[in-house]
Chain A
Amino acid sequence: GAVVSQHPSWVICKSGTSVKIECRSLDFQATTMFWYRQFPKQSLMLMATSNEGSKATYEQGVEKDKFLINHASLTLSTLTVTSAHPEDSSFYICSAPQGANDQPQHFGDGTRLSIL
């Protein structure tokens, strides 16, 4: 069964709205989680590394004020897309290693975000 749960799976909202996406590790603790973005027919692009109890590490070119990450507990990381615009429409996926950080990352089923 799934070891990483992501919610919601699908969201449509108006331009200017902020949207929060949750990523939960099930039955294990994750001090580190990862957030990816995937465009149609393209591969996963890492956006940021979420660290429990400290600031996230963002990849080059990713606006940290646009994509707010909070890793408040050992089983939950959230990604908030602030003041979303149509160009933010994408498939957002989170992952977490089950165990040490060099262990395989397990992925959630993604969130399809559509901004009208």
Chain B
Amino acid sequence: EDQVTQSPEALRLQEGESSSLNCSYTVSGLRGLFWYRQDPGKGPEFLFTLYSAGEEKEKERLKATLTKKESFLHITAPKPEDSATYLCAVQAKRAGDYKLSFGAGTTVTVRA
């Protein structure tokens, strides 16, 4: 069974205070690891896909990295608008199976 564990559960940051979120995963062959952002009462918004260890993706203040066992989402100099719940999900490399297994998320609050 695929497992995704995110830490910490919650993160409170001062504006400009950089930090990292962790996503540890266990999957029988990784097809892809996905990061999403979810605002309250909304559906998840796609951020990044990572496919192989060593890969990195960047978007504005966010940078995602991938190893064989975990992924990190780095938030550099966050702003209040970066406050959200960040979800990590894995897709296993199983024939005909494209479902995502999600972690519980990290809720980030950035104070001005």
Interface residues of A (CB under 8 A from B): 4, 6, 32, 34, 42-46, 49, 93, 95, 97, 101-102, 104-110, 112
The closest CB in chain B to the CB of A4 belongs to B43
Which residue of B36, B98, B103 contacts A97 across the interface (Cβ within 8 Å)?
B98
Among candidates B36, B46, B100, B104, residue contacting A34 with C-beta atoms closer than 8 Å: B100
Label chain A's interface by main secondary structure. Answer: strand
Contact partner, A43, options B32, B43, B91, B105, Cβ 8 Å: B105
- The interface on chain B, measured as residues whose beta carbon lies within 8 A of the other chain's beta carbons, has a size of 21
Given known contacts A43-B102, A105-B100, is B43 in contact with A93 (CB within 8 Å)?
yes
A102 to B94, CA, bound (A): 11
B contact residues vs A (CB 8 Å cutoff): 31-32, 34, 36, 41-46, 49, 87, 91, 98-105
- Determine if A43 and B87 form an interchain contact, defined as CB atoms under 8 angstroms apart: yes
The reply to whether B98 and A101 form a contact with Cβ atoms under 8 Å apart is yes
With a cutoff of 8 Å between Cβ atoms, the chain A residues found around residue B36 in the complex are 107
Check if A6 sits within 8 Å of B43, measured CB to CB: yes
- A43-B103, A49-B99 given; A109·B42 CB < 8 A: yes
Chain A to chain B: the 6 pairs with minimum beta-carbon distance, closest first: A107-B43, A101-B98, A43-B102, A43-B104, A109-B43, A104-B46
Chain A residues whose CB sits within 8 angstroms of the CB of B102 once the complex forms: 43-45
Cβ distance A83 to chain B, nearest Cβ, rounded Å: 26
Closest partner residue, chain B, to A3 (CB atom): B46
B41 contact set on A, CB distance < 8 A: 110, 112
Q: Supply 22 A–B pairs (Cβ within 8 Å), ascending by A.
A: A32-B98, A43-B104, A43-B105, A44-B44, A46-B100, A46-B101, A49-B99, A93-B43, A95-B43, A95-B44, A95-B100, A101-B98, A102-B91, A102-B98, A104-B34, A104-B49, A105-B34, A105-B100, A107-B44, A107-B45, A109-B42, A110-B41
